[in-house]
Protein backbone atom coordinates (compact mmCIF):
# COMPACT_ATOMS: atom_id res chain seq x y z
CA UNK A 1 0.00 0.00 0.00
CA UNK A 2 2.49 2.56 -1.17
CA UNK A 3 1.04 4.25 -4.27
CA UNK A 4 -2.23 5.66 -5.54
CA UNK A 5 -5.50 4.84 -3.82
CA UNK A 6 -3.86 2.29 -1.52
CA UNK A 7 -1.35 4.83 -0.22
CA UNK A 8 -4.16 7.33 0.39
CA UNK A 9 -6.10 4.73 2.37
CA UNK A 10 -3.02 3.86 4.48
CA UNK A 11 -2.41 7.55 5.25
CA UNK A 12 -6.03 8.03 6.29
CA UNK A 13 -5.91 4.97 8.58
CA UNK A 14 -2.65 6.07 10.25
CA UNK A 15 -3.98 9.58 10.91
CA UNK A 16 -7.23 8.26 12.41
CA UNK A 17 -5.25 5.85 14.66
CA UNK A 18 -2.92 8.63 15.83
CA UNK A 19 -5.82 10.95 16.71
CA UNK A 20 -7.61 8.13 18.56
CA UNK A 21 -4.52 7.37 20.66
CA UNK A 22 -3.99 11.05 21.48
CA UNK A 23 -7.59 11.26 22.69
CA UNK A 24 -7.42 7.88 24.38
CA UNK A 25 -10.48 6.92 22.34
CA UNK A 26 -10.66 3.20 23.06
CA UNK A 27 -13.78 2.76 20.93
CA UNK A 28 -12.16 4.29 17.84
CA UNK A 29 -8.98 2.26 18.38
CA UNK A 30 -10.99 -0.96 18.67
CA UNK A 31 -12.92 -0.09 15.49
CA UNK A 32 -9.74 0.60 13.52
CA UNK A 33 -8.22 -2.70 14.66
CA UNK A 34 -11.37 -4.63 13.65
CA UNK A 35 -10.92 -6.81 10.55
CA UNK A 36 -14.58 -6.39 9.58
CA UNK A 37 -14.20 -2.61 9.65
CA UNK A 38 -10.95 -2.79 7.68
CA UNK A 39 -12.54 -5.03 5.01
CA UNK A 40 -15.57 -2.74 4.67
CA UNK A 41 -13.31 0.32 4.38
CA UNK A 42 -11.30 -1.33 1.61
CA UNK A 43 -14.43 -2.17 -0.41
CA UNK A 44 -15.94 1.29 -0.04
CA UNK A 45 -12.70 3.09 -0.84
CA UNK A 46 -11.79 1.13 -3.94
CA UNK A 47 -15.38 1.00 -5.17
CA UNK A 48 -15.48 4.80 -5.11
CA UNK A 49 -12.10 4.90 -6.85
CA UNK A 50 -13.34 2.65 -9.65
CA UNK A 51 -16.48 4.75 -10.10
CA UNK A 52 -14.37 7.87 -10.44
CA UNK A 53 -12.06 6.23 -12.97
CA UNK A 54 -15.01 4.96 -15.03
CA UNK A 55 -16.62 8.41 -14.96
CA UNK A 56 -13.39 10.04 -16.15
CA UNK A 57 -13.24 7.59 -19.02
CA UNK A 58 -16.91 7.96 -19.96
CA UNK A 59 -16.93 11.76 -19.91
CA UNK A 60 -14.14 11.86 -22.51
CA UNK A 61 -16.14 9.80 -25.02
CA UNK A 62 -19.64 11.00 -24.15
CA UNK A 63 -21.00 12.30 -27.50
CA UNK A 64 -24.21 14.27 -28.02
CA UNK A 65 -25.44 12.20 -30.95
CA UNK A 66 -29.25 12.27 -31.14
CA UNK A 67 -29.62 13.79 -27.67
CA UNK A 68 -30.83 17.34 -27.26
CA UNK A 69 -28.23 19.66 -25.74
CA UNK A 70 -30.27 19.75 -22.53
CA UNK A 71 -30.29 15.94 -22.30
CA UNK A 72 -26.56 15.81 -23.05
CA UNK A 73 -25.66 18.21 -20.25
CA UNK A 74 -27.77 16.31 -17.71
CA UNK A 75 -25.59 13.24 -18.34
CA UNK A 76 -22.40 15.29 -18.72
CA UNK A 77 -22.87 17.03 -15.36
CA UNK A 78 -23.51 13.70 -13.65
CA UNK A 79 -20.27 12.29 -15.07
CA UNK A 80 -18.40 15.49 -14.16
CA UNK A 81 -19.39 15.16 -10.50
CA UNK A 82 -18.58 11.45 -10.39
CA UNK A 83 -15.21 12.10 -12.03
CA UNK A 84 -14.38 14.74 -9.43
CA UNK A 85 -13.96 17.59 -11.92
CA UNK A 86 -14.59 21.09 -10.59
CA UNK A 87 -16.01 23.77 -12.91
CA UNK A 88 -13.52 26.40 -11.76
CA UNK A 89 -10.45 24.23 -11.26
CA UNK A 90 -10.92 22.14 -14.43
CA UNK A 91 -12.75 24.72 -16.56
CA UNK A 92 -10.51 24.67 -19.66
CA UNK A 93 -10.49 20.88 -19.72
CA UNK A 94 -14.30 20.77 -19.49
CA UNK A 95 -14.63 23.34 -22.30
CA UNK A 96 -12.39 21.17 -24.47
CA UNK A 97 -14.57 18.15 -23.72
CA UNK A 98 -17.86 19.78 -24.68
CA UNK A 99 -16.38 21.32 -27.85
CA UNK A 100 -15.24 17.84 -28.89
CA UNK A 101 -18.40 15.99 -27.86
CA UNK A 102 -21.22 18.34 -28.90
CA UNK A 103 -22.39 17.91 -32.52
CA UNK A 104 -19.99 19.70 -34.87
CA UNK A 105 -22.49 21.96 -36.73
CA UNK A 106 -23.71 23.39 -33.44
CA UNK A 107 -20.18 24.24 -32.26
CA UNK A 108 -19.33 25.78 -35.65
CA UNK A 109 -22.47 27.91 -35.53
CA UNK A 110 -21.38 29.39 -32.20
CA UNK A 111 -17.79 29.97 -33.34
CA UNK A 112 -18.79 31.53 -36.68
CA UNK A 113 -21.13 33.93 -34.90
CA UNK A 114 -18.05 35.87 -33.81
CA UNK A 115 -19.14 35.95 -30.17
CA UNK A 116 -17.25 32.97 -28.79
CA UNK A 117 -17.92 32.08 -25.11
CA UNK A 118 -14.96 32.14 -22.73
CA UNK A 119 -16.26 30.21 -19.71
CA UNK A 120 -17.75 26.76 -19.23
CA UNK A 121 -21.08 28.21 -18.09
CA UNK A 122 -21.26 30.51 -21.14
CA UNK A 123 -20.55 27.62 -23.49
CA UNK A 124 -23.20 25.48 -21.83
CA UNK A 125 -25.83 28.24 -22.04
CA UNK A 126 -25.12 29.06 -25.70
CA UNK A 127 -25.14 25.41 -26.74
CA UNK A 128 -28.47 24.67 -25.06
CA UNK A 129 -30.09 27.85 -26.45
CA UNK A 130 -28.88 27.42 -30.04
CA UNK A 131 -29.78 23.74 -30.07
CA UNK A 132 -33.35 24.46 -28.92
CA UNK A 133 -33.79 27.26 -31.47
CA UNK A 134 -32.67 24.95 -34.26
CA UNK A 135 -35.01 22.17 -33.17
CA UNK A 136 -37.96 24.60 -32.95
CA UNK A 137 -37.25 25.80 -36.48
CA UNK A 138 -37.12 22.25 -37.85
CA UNK A 139 -40.41 21.40 -36.13
CA UNK A 140 -42.13 24.51 -37.50
CA UNK A 141 -40.98 23.72 -41.04
CA UNK A 142 -42.20 20.14 -40.68
CA UNK A 143 -45.63 21.25 -39.49
CA UNK A 144 -45.90 23.83 -42.28
CA UNK A 145 -44.94 21.27 -44.92
CA UNK A 146 -47.45 18.77 -43.56
CA UNK A 147 -50.20 21.41 -43.55
CA UNK A 148 -49.49 22.33 -47.18
CA UNK A 149 -49.33 18.75 -48.43
CA UNK A 150 -52.55 17.86 -46.64
CA UNK A 151 -54.62 20.59 -48.30
CA UNK A 152 -56.57 20.26 -51.54
CA UNK A 153 -58.32 22.52 -53.96
CA UNK A 154 -57.35 26.06 -54.82
CA UNK A 155 -56.28 28.72 -52.39
CA UNK A 156 -53.48 30.88 -51.08
CA UNK A 157 -51.08 30.99 -48.14
CA UNK A 158 -52.23 33.24 -45.37
CA UNK A 159 -50.02 35.68 -43.47
CA UNK A 160 -49.10 32.93 -41.00
CA UNK A 161 -48.02 30.59 -43.77
CA UNK A 162 -51.02 28.31 -43.38
CA UNK A 163 -52.99 27.12 -46.37
CA UNK A 164 -56.44 28.66 -46.66
CA UNK A 165 -59.33 27.87 -48.99
CA UNK A 166 -60.49 30.41 -51.50
CA UNK A 167 -63.77 32.02 -50.39
CA UNK A 168 -66.93 32.02 -52.44
CA UNK A 169 -66.44 35.68 -53.33
CA UNK A 170 -62.96 34.88 -54.66
CA UNK A 171 -63.92 31.99 -56.91
CA UNK A 172 -63.89 32.72 -60.59
CA UNK A 173 -67.23 32.83 -62.39
CA UNK A 174 -67.33 30.07 -64.94
CA UNK A 175 -68.64 30.97 -68.40
CA UNK A 176 -71.08 28.32 -69.54
CA UNK A 177 -72.32 28.06 -73.08
CA UNK A 178 -76.10 27.83 -73.18
CA UNK A 179 -77.56 25.17 -75.43
CA UNK A 180 -81.09 24.79 -76.69
CA UNK A 181 -82.61 21.44 -77.61
CA UNK A 182 -85.50 20.66 -79.89
CA UNK A 183 -88.05 21.06 -77.14
CA UNK A 184 -87.40 24.74 -76.78
CA UNK A 185 -85.94 24.30 -73.29
CA UNK A 186 -82.69 26.12 -72.61
CA UNK A 187 -79.92 24.21 -70.76
CA UNK A 188 -76.63 25.36 -69.22
CA UNK A 189 -73.44 23.37 -69.01
CA UNK A 190 -74.30 22.41 -65.43
CA UNK A 191 -77.47 20.67 -66.63
CA UNK A 192 -79.83 23.33 -65.28
CA UNK A 193 -82.76 24.26 -67.46
CA UNK A 194 -83.84 27.85 -67.85
CA UNK A 195 -87.41 28.99 -68.25
CA UNK A 196 -88.39 29.56 -71.91
CA UNK A 197 -90.16 32.62 -73.23
CA UNK A 198 -93.72 31.53 -72.34
CA UNK A 199 -95.34 34.47 -74.11
CA UNK A 200 -93.71 33.50 -77.41
CA UNK A 201 -94.61 29.82 -77.06
CA UNK A 202 -98.20 30.71 -76.15
CA UNK A 203 -98.55 32.90 -79.26
CA UNK A 204 -97.18 30.13 -81.50
CA UNK A 205 -99.33 27.49 -79.81
CA UNK A 206 -96.34 25.46 -78.61
CA UNK A 207 -96.09 23.24 -75.55
CA UNK A 208 -94.02 24.80 -72.76
CA UNK A 209 -92.60 21.35 -72.01
CA UNK A 210 -91.48 19.97 -75.38
CA UNK A 211 -91.94 22.89 -77.78
CA UNK A 212 -94.28 20.98 -80.09
CA UNK A 213 -97.67 22.21 -81.26
CA UNK A 214 -101.00 20.51 -80.72
CA UNK A 215 -100.95 19.98 -76.94
CA UNK A 216 -100.07 21.63 -73.63
CA UNK A 217 -97.41 21.04 -71.00
CA UNK A 218 -99.96 19.48 -68.62
CA UNK A 219 -100.62 16.76 -71.22
CA UNK A 220 -97.21 15.27 -70.27
CA UNK A 221 -98.52 12.86 -67.61
CA UNK A 222 -96.15 10.50 -65.78
CA UNK A 223 -93.31 11.45 -68.06
CA UNK A 224 -95.12 10.27 -71.20
CA UNK A 225 -94.91 12.22 -74.44
CA UNK A 226 -98.37 13.10 -75.86
CA UNK A 227 -99.13 11.70 -79.28
CA UNK A 228 -99.13 14.23 -82.06
CA UNK A 229 -102.60 14.89 -83.52
CA UNK A 230 -103.35 13.12 -86.82
CA UNK A 231 -103.53 15.30 -89.92
CA UNK A 232 -107.21 15.63 -91.08
CA UNK A 233 -107.17 16.71 -94.74
CA UNK A 234 -110.95 16.68 -95.11
CA UNK A 235 -111.47 18.98 -92.16
CA UNK A 236 -108.79 21.34 -93.44
CA UNK A 237 -110.40 21.55 -96.91
CA UNK A 238 -113.86 22.11 -95.51
CA UNK A 239 -112.55 24.97 -93.38
CA UNK A 240 -110.96 26.73 -96.36
CA UNK A 241 -112.87 29.33 -98.49
CA UNK A 242 -114.40 27.83 -101.65
CA UNK A 243 -112.16 29.81 -104.05
CA UNK A 244 -108.97 28.90 -102.15
CA UNK A 245 -110.06 25.29 -101.98
CA UNK A 246 -110.67 25.25 -105.78
CA UNK A 247 -107.22 26.68 -106.48
CA UNK A 248 -105.60 24.11 -104.16
CA UNK A 249 -107.44 21.18 -105.79
CA UNK A 250 -106.77 22.37 -109.34
CA UNK A 251 -104.68 19.82 -111.16
CA UNK A 252 -105.69 16.82 -109.00
pLDDT for 96 equals: 96
What DSSP state is assigned to residue 211?
Answer: -
Q: Select the more confidently predicted residue: 118 or 210.
A: 118
pLDDT above 70 covers a percentage of the chain that reads 62
Give just the sign of the alpha carbon dihedral 157, 158, 163, 164: negative
Using an 8 Å Cβ cutoff, are 64 and 72 in contact?
yes
pLDDT at 86 over 80: yes
State the Cα angle at 107 between 105 and 111, rounded to 5°: 115
Tens of pLDDT, residue by residue over 150-196, are 654 444 444 333 334 444 444 444 444 445 555 444 444 444 444 55
DSSP codes, 48-100:
HHHHHHHHHHHHHH---TTS-HHHHHHHHHHHHHHHT--TTTTHHHHHHHHHH
- The percentage of the chain sitting over the pLDDT mark of 90, rounded to a whole number, equals 32
Q: How confident is the model at residue 147 (pLDDT cuts 50, 70, 90)?
A: confident
Which of these, 40, 67, 84, 88, lies nearest to 135 by C-alpha position?
A: 67
Q: How far apart are CA 148 and CA 168, in angstroms?
A: 21
Residue 146 CB partners (closer than 8 Å, separation 6+): none
pLDDT digit string (tens) for 68-85?
999 999 999 999 998 989
148 versus 164: the higher-pLDDT residue is 148
Lowest mean pLDDT among 3-7, 23-27, 51-55, 68-72: 3-7
The whole-angstrom distance between residue 89's C-alpha and the CA centroid of its chain comes to 46
Residue 120: how many CB atoms within 10 A of its CB? 19
pLDDT at 108 (0 to 100): 95
Top-confidence residue, 121 or 189: 121
pLDDT of 102 reads 96
Residue 112: what pLDDT? 94
**What is the structure's pLDDT at 54?**
87
> Quick check: 52 and 82 in contact, CB under 8 A?
yes
Structural contact between residues 196 and 208, judged by C-beta atoms closer than 8 angstroms: yes
**CA nearest 75: which of 97, 108, 90?**
97
Q: Write out the H or E segment, with its range, that includes residue 163.
A: strand 163-165
**Does 225 score more than 90 pLDDT?**
no
Amino acid sequence: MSIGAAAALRTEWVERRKIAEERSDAGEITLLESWAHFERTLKDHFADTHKEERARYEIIYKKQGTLTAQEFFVKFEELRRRAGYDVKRNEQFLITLIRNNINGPLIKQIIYSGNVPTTYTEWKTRIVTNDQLWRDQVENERMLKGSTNGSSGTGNRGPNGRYQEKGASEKKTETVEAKKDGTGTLYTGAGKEMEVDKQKFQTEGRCFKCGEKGHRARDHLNGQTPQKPKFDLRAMLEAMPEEERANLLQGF
